[in-house]
Structure 1
């Protein structure tokens, strides 16, 4: 890619290959581990423990935990009162679920509540101490986090993420799944023009329309259905409003 040596900040996940490539090609670049990937690790660990707890129950008792995945993986501030009540009932019966859930939420707090890098380090240290020895899933990601600690906490110096790019990728994937065998050109067109960011053509009142009456038995073929006095009647053509498209990708518009 032309100009790659001018890249100042690189955001990535915790795969070592990306880090080695950046260090080799653009060693001066500032590397930041995307916070969404960090939180995603804790979500996966929580989900693994949730599955273990559910599988350990007799089949009849498994009914006590329904729709648990959607409630437990949801951000605590997004829960509805009924969901909070259900969550707390599960916690009373299954304390390991409660521990795993708050480990996930505490990691989110490292990012959401810390004012600077030092405070984030302190919160992370407390998070590490709160992991039970029996939680192999969280112990494993603790090692991963410590191997990338420098890059993870670089976020608090330069708070960059890949959120916008990930949103674009998700839109592309969903559009691609909805069809089959799209060429690149067709897929690109659907991505650009498949949202309400598309400006539809508008017409002024210079266009004269006629109704199609008495078209039975072939009369339709000889009937002129529309007259356009002036092609300039189309006052606005097709196009994409980039600001609207950006808001869609960022979740501000539907």
Structure 2
């Protein structure tokens, strides 16, 4: 017969306590199932007959500095209606094969967020591996739940890569740019690998994606066309600005090489100033640009084209944005700067996707912020981790637990 006071103290759904044993180190709750039957998976009727039983000790969260164990007599049942045997009983608070309650795994997860695994293991009388496996198991469950919730409402996908190891290995972050949520972190940016991954999504989900935001890397475009038939492809404005800034910086280097040693130093010191938004420049910045523009009229033209391009991306009206883009094309042609002519060609090749940005104003802004978070996680002590471990750390930093 169960004890209501002890059951309430234990507070685990689907279980009732029949006794509480106290030792110097442990509180041991002796428990049984709240409902002593299962639904037969074959005929759907209730199975009451016990097929076999096995006592198991399951660790739970501490109470008043005492370790807690749940002593459960696990049972398997037989169906007297259809003869099905060895039907296991599943309960919400303890997953299959686990020797820890789900809330104890969550307790360990919270503790290891800011503390060393070894110390937490020692405090709970567990091995390092046990802590590691429990934390990974619980976090992976939480990640899956978060992903399902995000995908349930997603209409737009943003894809952005980041370096795992500088200039060598890249991973990919998939985000929902409208709701600002992480969907997944993938180990490969290869076209075939991405197509294979997205094809694991239900067809209905892939058909509900309306927008696909990306940089100007052709394989991503091929992926989007293959797996998201209804999605408009949007070029991310931050990558557009980067392309124009790269052209400006290359021209700065070319012009710098033409100068005297003293003036080369001025050009070099102005490299970041040139790339700053014009409205963010202070008096010193303006003066620095005036000095180098006197030495290089070509660089002044290029800077003006960069500013004009930035400004047209801010125009809220779609028609006016397109007109401003065409005017920028004309100004680039008149400037006769090879590097900017090439940049113009790049923008033209992606023009329809740029116009899709004008129409939607969807960007990879959340993904860019996420990349900064990833860099911080790598820098504060986790080194160059495996992508799966990094994924867990990033999700943990975003989840509310």
Is 1:157 matched up with 2:356?
Answer: no
Deviation at 1:182, TM superposition (A): 3.4
- 2:283 is the counterpart of 1:81: yes
Structure 2: state its 5+ residue gaps: 1-197
The 3-state SS of whatever aligns with 2:234 is strand
**SS at 1:31 equivalent:** strand
Higher relative contact order (CA 8 A, sep 6+): 1
CA distance in 1 between counterparts of 2:285 and 2:270 reads 9
Answer with 149-158 or 41-50: which moved more.
149-158
Q: Does 1:36 align with 2:36?
A: no
**TM alignment of 1:85-104, pairs within 5 A:** 85-104=287-306
- Give distance in 1, aligned partners of 2:293 and 2:324: 23
Q: Choose between structure 1 and 2: higher helix proportion.
A: 1
Shift of 1:22: 1.5
- Residue of structure 1 in register with 2:48 after alignment: none
TM, length-normalised to structure 2? 0.45
In the superposition, the TM-score normalised over structure 1's length comes to: 0.69
Instruction: List gaps (5 residues or longer) in structure 1.
Output: 198-238, 242-254
Aligned residue for 2:225?
A: 23
Q: Is residue 2:322 matched to residue 1:121?
A: yes
What is the aligned counterpart of 1:55 among 257, 263, 279? 257
2:385 is the alignment partner of 1:182: yes
Q: Which has the higher strand share?
A: 2
SS at match of 1:60: helix
SS of residue matched to 1:11: strand
Q: Do the aligned residues in 2 keep the contact of 1:192 with 1:240 (CA within 8 Å)?
A: no
User: 1:135-172 deviations in whole A, cap 9, x for unaligned?
Assistant: 11111121111111111011121110111012112321
User: Is the contact between residue 207 and residue 229 of structure 2 (CA under 8 Å) also seen in structure 1?
Assistant: no
CA distance in 2, matches of 1:151, 1:183: 34
8 Å contact 1:128–1:142 — kept in the other structure?
A: yes
Deviates more, 1:64-73 or 1:172-181: 172-181
How far did 1:185 drift?
7.0
CA contact (8 A) 2:208 2:230 kept: no
Q: Please say if 1:130 is aligned against 2:338.
A: no
- Cα RMSD (Å): 2.4
| Secondary structure in structure 2 of the residue aligned to 1:10 | strand
Q: Following the alignment from structure 1 to structure 2, what is the Cα–Cα distance between the partners of residues 73 and 55? A: 19
Q: Determine which structure has more spread, i.e. the larger CA radius of gyration.
A: 2
Contact 1:14 1:33 in 2 (8 A): yes
Aligned residues: 197
Question: Shift in Å at residue 11 of structure 1?
Answer: 0.5
Give the whole-Å Cα distance in 1 for the aligned partners of 2:323 and 2:369.
31
1:164-187 per-position Cα deviation (integer Å, ceiling 9, x unaligned): 012112321343245424355764
Q: What SS does the aligned partner of 1:161 have?
A: coil
Q: 1:25 to 1:79 in 2, by over 3 A?
A: same
